[in-house]
Amino acid sequence: MPIRRHIQDENSPRQGSHVKSATTTILSSNTGLTKSSNLSTVHRSNGYQNAHRKPKLKHKGEGSSALIVPNLSLPEEAGTLFSWYTQNWSDVKRNEFLHKFMLKLDPRQHYFVSSFLAARQHKDFISLLPKDISLKILHYLSVQDLLRCCMVCKTWNALANNNDLWKYKCETVKMEVPVSDQPEWKKLYKDNKYLRVNWNSAKCKITDFKGHSDSVICVIFDHLHLASGSLDKTIRVWNLKTGKCQHVLKGHVKGVWCLNFFTHNLLVSGSYDGTIRVWNLRTGKCNKTIIAHDGPIWALARHNEVLVTVSQDKTAKVWDINRCLHLNSLLGHTAAIFAVDMSEDGHLVITGSADKSVKIWNIETGRCLRWISVSQTTSIMSVSYSQGHLACSYGETICVYKVEGPTRLIKKYLDIVNEHQKRIECLKLGILDKEKGEGIIVSAGKDGAVKYWDIQKDKSIQTFVGHRGREVNAIYFDELRIASAAHDNKIRIWDFNV
346 and 437 together in one domain: yes
The DSSP output letter for 87 is I
CATH of the domain at 224: 2.130.10.10
163 and 232 together in one domain: no
pLDDT of residue 117: 83
51 and 148 together in one domain: no
Per-chain mean pLDDT for the chain:
85
pLDDT of residue 9: 44
Task: Among 90, 120, 150, identify where a domain stops.
Answer: 120
Number of domains in the chain: 3
- Does residue 8 sit within a domain? no
347 and 257 together in one domain: yes
pLDDT of residue 11: 45
Domain that holds residue 49: 13-120
- Does residue 3 sit within a domain? no
pLDDT (average), residues 157-174 = 93
- Does residue 7 sit within a domain? no
Return d(Cα 231, Cα 229) in angstroms, integer. 7
pLDDT of residue 53: 43
Confidence of residue 415 (pLDDT cuts 50, 70, 90): low
- Does residue 227 sit within a domain? yes
197 and 97 together in one domain: no
- Does residue 88 sit within a domain? yes
138 and 219 together in one domain: no
Return d(Cα 7, Cα 233) in angstroms, integer. 99
Least confident of 41-50, 305-314, 338-347, 451-460: 41-50
- Does residue 4 sit within a domain? no
Return d(Cα 426, Cα 445) in angstroms, integer. 7
- Which tens digit of pLDDT belongs to each residue from 5-30? 444 444 444 444 343 333 333 333 33
109 and 232 together in one domain: no
Return d(Cα 145, Cα 138) in angstroms, integer. 9
- Which tens digit of pLDDT belongs to each residue from 83-137? 899 999 999 999 999 999 999 999 999 899 888 888 777 778 888 889 999 999 9
Confidence of residue 465 (pLDDT cuts 50, 70, 90): confident
319 and 355 together in one domain: yes
Is the pTM for the entire model greater than 0.85? no
Secondary structure element (H or E) that encloses residue 390, with its range: strand 389-394
Instruction: Please count the CA atoms within 13 angstroms of the CA of 85 that sit on its side-chain side.
Output: 15
Least confident of 79-83, 258-262, 284-288, 452-456: 79-83
Task: Among 89, 120, 151, identify where a domain stops.
Answer: 120
- Does residue 2 sit within a domain? no
pLDDT (average), residues 179-185 = 89
* Distance (Å) of CA 440 to CA 43, 428, 479: 76, 8, 11
- Does residue 6 sit within a domain? no
CATH of the domain at 159: 1.20.1280.50
pLDDT of residue 416: 66
167 and 309 together in one domain: no
Least confident of 122-131, 149-158, 399-408: 122-131
pLDDT (average), residues 20-49 = 36
Residue 227 has pLDDT above 70, yes or no: yes
Task: Among 70, 98, 120, identify where a domain stops.
Answer: 120
Return d(Cα 45, Cα 73) in angstroms, integer. 9
362 and 455 together in one domain: yes
Confidence of residue 333 (pLDDT cuts 50, 70, 90): very high
107 and 143 together in one domain: no
pLDDT of residue 363: 94
Confidence of residue 397 (pLDDT cuts 50, 70, 90): very high
29 and 155 together in one domain: no
> Residue 456, Cα to own-chain centre: how many angstroms?
20
